[in-house]
Structure 1
């Protein structure tokens, strides 16, 4: 299968590319900085491209069977448009070139329902703090992105992970069509599910939660690690 990955140089994007190549898919990794992309291989093509550039996006999409969007930006106070602008150009390119399958990442908080089984502090204080203040501009643009995706007639799936953290291998993670118990999603698990969704389109027009249940961090560990990733601009 020919797969193009946008946001390929992010922490999850690299894992998607690595796993896809390991499964013998032909992969195009799109990044603004191809010179810093750490992966190589006979099945991999790395191309320069910015999702704000519709011409570059269209060229990258052409000739592929599926698109995986792992776009991500760090939390901040400034308005965010990366998700909505990026997906606009991606979907326009897909329509022009007849590419049907799209898998994109947003967040579990967009289910707009309480976290199952969570304590009062997490539901009423910690998560609202992240949603309404720390990550408000990011989540606002994720909602715009999802609305754009819903407005297409593409075969789309949106994957909504929990708090992301690093891990060394893919675990026996859980997948559901509604918000799952638990707070966290390991990046290898997210990458694995994105790839599976791209290859198998049985869950088209669906929102999928991915939840890691093994060796998850505590809240303080996650905040500390993700703060470092945020500063590097590689949150997803």
Structure 2
């Protein structure tokens, strides 16, 4: 399959690119800084483009079967537009080129709901802090989700929890309802992105991806890792 990955130079984007190449797919990795992209090899094409530039997006889009958006930004007090505008440009270009399959990363911080059995300190202390810190980010991610839902494409929105680095892919949980769990490894998120892009398991659905094996200790490193929920994908 011919895949194009936006946000390919982020931690999750790199993992998704590497996995897709290992599986034998052709991948176009889209990044604003192709000189910093660490991967190479047969089947890979690296393209310079900013998702906020509709012309650049359109030039990269043609000839692909499926699109992954791993766009992400750090927490900021300023306005965030990369999710809604960037993904809006991607969706518009897909429609123009007749490409149907879109898989994109959002966050459980959008329309957050408590999971069954979550600790009181998590629900009453940590979550309100995270939602306040990431307010502008989550608001734009919500705008992105609305654009994706109304795009007319064959879409899947993936919502990870607090992102952390791992070394392997686990037997992670994919759910259309809020599932207990505070973390998502980037390996698991990357695997879910590729599986959706290639296999089309959850078309027209918003799904959570939650890691339940080998997660960081709670609460010692919780805030350090959970803050990544809105950070670089």
Secondary structure of the 1:109 match is coil
Contact 1:158 1:208 in 2 (8 A): yes
Q: CA RMSD in A?
A: 1.7
Q: Where does 1:56-95 land on structure 2 (aligned, <5 Å)?
A: 56-95=56-95
Trace 1:30-179 onto structure 2 (pairs within 5 A): 30-131=30-131, 133-179=132-178
Whole-Å Cα distance in 1 between the matches of residues 157 and 208 of structure 2? 9
Distance 1:11 1:226, change over 3 A: farther
TM-score by structure 2 length? 0.95
* Distance (whole Å) between structure 1 residues aligned to residue 72 and residue 62 of structure 2: 22
Q: Deviations over 1:89-121 (max 9, x none)?
A: 000100000000000001123253212210111
TM-score, scaled to structure 1: 0.94
Contact 1:226 1:235 in 2 (8 A): no
Kept in 1: contact 2:75–2:231 (CA 8 A) = no
Q: Distance in 2 between matches of 1:178 and 1:110?
A: 13
Report the Cα offset of residue 226 of structure 1: 6.8
Give ranges in structure 2 of 5+ residues lacking alignment. Answer: none
Alignment length, in residue pairs? 232
Give the 4+ runs in structure 1 shifted more than 4 A: none
Q: Distance in 1 between matches of 2:204 and 2:116?
A: 23
- Which segments of 5 or more consecutive residues in structure 1 lack a partner in the other structure? none
Contact 1:174 1:210 in 2 (8 A): yes
Deviations 1:131-179 (A, max 9, x none): 1x21111101000000100111100000001100000010111111111
The answer (yes or no) to whether the contact 1:171–1:214 under 8 Å persists in 2 is yes
